[in-house]
Amino acid sequence: MSGGALVTGLAGCLSGDDDPELDVGRNTVIASMPALWDFTRQIVGEEETLESFDIVPVGEHGHDWNPEPATVEDIDHAGGFVYMRDFAAWQDDAAEQLEADDDIHVIDASEGIEFFDSPAEDNDEHWWMDPVYCQRGVDNIADGIVDMDPDNEAYYRDNAEAFNEELQELHGEMQDVVDRAALDTIVVATHDSFQWWYQQYDIQVESPVGTSPDDSASPDEVEEIEGLMDERGIEHVLYDVGEPAQLAESLAEETDAEILPLTPVETQIDGAPELDTGISMEPDWGYMDHFYEINLPSLETALQAE
């Protein structure tokens, strides 16, 4: 299939900008969700040889967002496309079609990363929530960027190495919170993207919802979570900032718990503004902002590591 056939199926809003005149060319790398956009941004740096765009509009959740026809420039005008296999059907379809075009570098950030059967789902693909596995993803993206622009390989490799050092430091801070924690369990009352914390840090993530943003909790599932909270002395209910927080509010009211935010780095705005969490997310927030401004403070409080 030719690249032009992607126009209606894969056009999307880059970085949340509705301007149809965005200059997307062969020096542009399109990233398919906010975390990958930031990883790519860190690698291409500020030399302006290449530039990174996030195709997910500000305010949308990367996991359940699908491109709309003819929103802005079609993806096949770009020089590179960064995606994750098995994250969203449209991404896998786009990658398959774009690989037929020799002018576009298709970069699977998940290459070589083995998914695992988590307590929430089989073949759990949320590896980017683990700062250790993120380093492999960054290296994968760097390999693709180097293929696009081999003349600047040393620059891109240096940027990737520097960012991976930051990710390793973040891993240490996550581990420190767990080491100081009185609890080992959190309750997430929205889309559960956080089971890779179970594998890396032994944080038990309990959710009445599961991993699908469209799932809803049954009365029995809610009752089970309420009993678990009472049994383990859990005083906080967490929610995904990209999802509605009604269930979190209801569960918190029933258990006299406080509500805290978590971010899977899939959106650039708090989706539950009615909650007074003090979050002021910015459209250009990167991975570290999401963790240091939201995830680490919330985990420290919820796990009673203060």
* In the predicted structure, residue 15 carries a pLDDT above the cut 60: no
**3-170 architecture in CATH?**
3-Layer(aba) Sandwich (3.40)
pLDDT tens digits, 251-299? 999 999 999 999 999 988 887 767 777 788 888 999 999 999 999 999 9
Backbone angles phi, psi at 54, to 5 degrees: -95, 120
> Which residues does 270 contact at the CB level (< 8 Å), separation at least 6?
241, 261, 277, 279, 281
21 three-state secondary structure: coil
Question: Which residues partner with 28 through β-bridges?
Answer: 51
pLDDT tier for residue 9 given thresholds of 50, 70 and 90:
very low
* In the predicted structure, residue 210 carries a pLDDT above the cut 50: yes
Q: Where in the chain is the domain with CATH 3.40.50.1980?
A: 3-170, 173-302
pLDDT tens digits, 174-202? 999 999 999 999 999 988 899 999 999 99
pLDDT tier for residue 2 given thresholds of 50, 70 and 90:
very low
Q: Are 56 and 98 in contact (CB under 8 A)?
A: no
Q: Tell me what pLDDT residue 153 has.
A: 97
> Which residues does 87 contact at the CB level (< 8 Å), separation at least 6?
32, 33, 63, 110, 125
Q: Tell me what pLDDT residue 302 has.
A: 98
For the chain, give the percent of residues with pLDDT over 70. 88
Higher pLDDT: 88 or 205? It is 205
If residue 227 lies in a helix (H) or strand (E), which one and from where to where?
Answer: helix 219-232
Q: Tell me what pLDDT residue 22 has.
A: 53
Higher pLDDT: 8 or 114? It is 114
What CATH class is the domain 173-302? alpha beta
Q: Tell me what pLDDT residue 12 has.
A: 32
CA 87, CA 63: separation in Å to the nearest integer? 7
pLDDT tens digits, 65-87? 777 654 344 687 889 999 999 99
Helix axes 131-148, 153-180, angle to 10 degrees: 170
Q: What is the mean pLDDT of residues 202-231?
A: 82
| Ramachandran assignment for 202, one of left (phi > 0), alpha (psi -120 to 50 degrees), beta (any other) | left
Determine the straight-line distance between the first and last CA of the chain, rounded to whole angstroms: 56
CA gyration radius, the chain:
20
